[in-house]
Structure 1
């Protein structure tokens, strides 16, 4: 399995939850259900926005970006995790391990920026309602989306590619999937530069978007407090609450994982943290946005009713 340098590694041991074999089968069924809910929920949001013209607005365009990201992120992580929960030989190929590392870093950075863009979109909608469609036109939305993915790639994947160091044996990844903070413990050389770059990168893709989100919501709060209509204030808070819930969950776990020194690493604790932002949070996103959004649930009910009526008509004809 392990040779003298990373170029000759064929596979690594992926520990996962093998330290607790008695819970592996229950976890397999639990995470299988979570993954299916993730796929269904996020795919449903994308399909609903595509086919329903009422939802083809900037907010739901960015929500589709987030839904796609959630599907891609968990698909890079969960299937292998599920396979290893049942396998007697719990390994991961070196190529897949690297792929998971790059994907987790890219998707994490992209989610931070997209969440910031969604906060900016809410700010424009609430503070400049009459100019909203003029400011957030489709050209601007597409540019913001492309910019988010491009910046994420060059701020995360490119620096990691050029600073990746050889790994040392034993080649054991005591985690549920491969990501940067975990692999730093397996590097042969001094990792001070890599740790510094990870903190700098996290500052750019975590803190700056978080600062933009904070400023956006401060302006939103001021604008809402100035509203004379109680119904208007209630609607504004309802629209923003879903986004704030997602931001709180994601940033809380992401900042702890990527913005701390290596000395604070805890294998068991970090597995739970990673489960939240890589598996649980992407599954909660569509539930939070749909269950707390009357516009989404209302349009979904109407589409299901139309589908039911058309199906009955086909049967009768």
Structure 2
């Protein structure tokens, strides 16, 4: 989406979550609480993992990386929205909008890959326990995380370049952050290439980790069903079931927003999906915080 040279637009207006003052105040308070909870909770997780030698395992290494990504993800969009509300402004610069979109999608994609890597770690631990230490070496864990960063950055760079080439006639974004869907709606250029890329390459990046997660848990379930203890089976299946439920909601929200034609989108639908997405992340955080901090005899 070209800036001042093509369209005369050097900044965008973020219209926020709602135009009604009472709803805006309520949503501001809701997002402020969720943001502070997310930052504090993830910092506690990282601190607990880094200071407890018993938690220096692949699973908690991936969880600490996931917590770091969650901090960065929330800090990409929420502080700007909160600052605009306090300052009474709605503007974001053209370069700031593209930068926000870049990092937003980078951290979302990184979440997907980390969830898949964690599912693979569980698969190895349950289905191949005798070979776990050799299969999940420190080198492999570092390589999985580093490789994920490379893939997601290349993916997001492609989408950002495709958006940057467009021109626009309007600068009002009916959202509280720079998302690709409202930006495509503002474009007066042909967006078919952008939409095709989202539905193909973007879908591949999103669906592949989900398929890996699903395949891992299918094998985990089969292995758990062979456990002779009914109590052990139920405990393991309950853990897997809750994780799969969260993953399904996580991916379902993203697919509902991004992987359908732009004509079916509405500002209300995208806003509701964004609030749901943040709520799900906050709930995931609380579950992880209980598991990790609970090991250190703290109560959440």
Name the TM-score, length of structure 2 as normaliser. 0.92
User: Per the alignment, in what secondary structure is the counterpart of residue 295 of structure 2?
Assistant: helix
Match in the other structure for 1:314? none
User: Per the alignment, in what secondary structure is the counterpart of residue 237 of structure 2?
Assistant: helix
User: Per the alignment, in what secondary structure is the counterpart of residue 12 of structure 2?
Assistant: strand
The answer on 1:301 being equivalent to 2:297 is yes
User: Per the alignment, in what secondary structure is the counterpart of residue 247 of structure 2?
Assistant: helix
Distance in 2, matches of 1:237 and 1:27, equals 36
What does residue range 249-260 of structure 1 map to in structure 2 within 5 Å?
A: 249-260=249-260
The answer on 1:276 being equivalent to 2:276 is yes
Name the TM-score, length of structure 1 as normaliser. 0.87
Indicate conservation of the 8 Å contact 2:98/2:164, yes or no: no
Match in the other structure for 1:309? none
User: Per the alignment, in what secondary structure is the counterpart of residue 12 of structure 1?
Assistant: strand
Distance in 1, matches of 2:236 and 2:19, equals 47
- Shift in CA distance, 240/55, structure 1 to aligned 2, threshold 3 Å: farther
Q: Deviations over 1:186-220 (max 9, x none)?
A: 12211001100011132221111111111111111
- Shift in CA distance, 111/47, structure 1 to aligned 2, threshold 3 Å: same
What does residue range 171-182 of structure 1 map to in structure 2 within 5 Å?
A: 171-182=171-182
Indicate conservation of the 8 Å contact 2:127/2:223, yes or no: yes
- Shift in CA distance, 148/243, structure 1 to aligned 2, threshold 3 Å: farther
What does residue range 91-102 of structure 1 map to in structure 2 within 5 Å?
A: 91-102=91-102
User: Per the alignment, in what secondary structure is the counterpart of residue 13 of structure 1?
Assistant: strand
Match in the other structure for 2:133? 133
Indicate conservation of the 8 Å contact 1:4/1:168, yes or no: no
Q: Which moved more, 1:162-171 or 1:217-226?
A: 162-171
**How far apart are 1:162 and its partner, in Å?**
4.8
Unaligned runs of 5+ in 1: 305-317
Unaligned runs of 5+ in 2: none
**How far apart are 1:235 and its partner, in Å?**
4.1
**How far apart are 1:17 and its partner, in Å?**
2.8
Indicate conservation of the 8 Å contact 1:156/1:201, yes or no: no
**Which protein is bigger by CA-based radius of gyration?**
1
Distance in 1, matches of 2:281 and 2:137, equals 27
- Shift in CA distance, 21/169, structure 1 to aligned 2, threshold 3 Å: farther
Indicate conservation of the 8 Å contact 1:84/1:90, yes or no: yes
Q: Which moved more, 1:227-236 or 1:250-259?
A: 227-236
**How far apart are 1:74 and its partner, in Å?**
0.7
- Shift in CA distance, 156/185, structure 1 to aligned 2, threshold 3 Å: same
What does residue range 182-197 of structure 1 map to in structure 2 within 5 Å?
A: 182-197=182-197
Q: Which moved more, 1:8-17 or 1:193-202?
A: 8-17
Q: Deviations over 1:93-148 (max 9, x none)?
A: 22221111111111111111111111111111111111111111111100001111
Distance in 2, matches of 1:300 and 1:182, equals 44
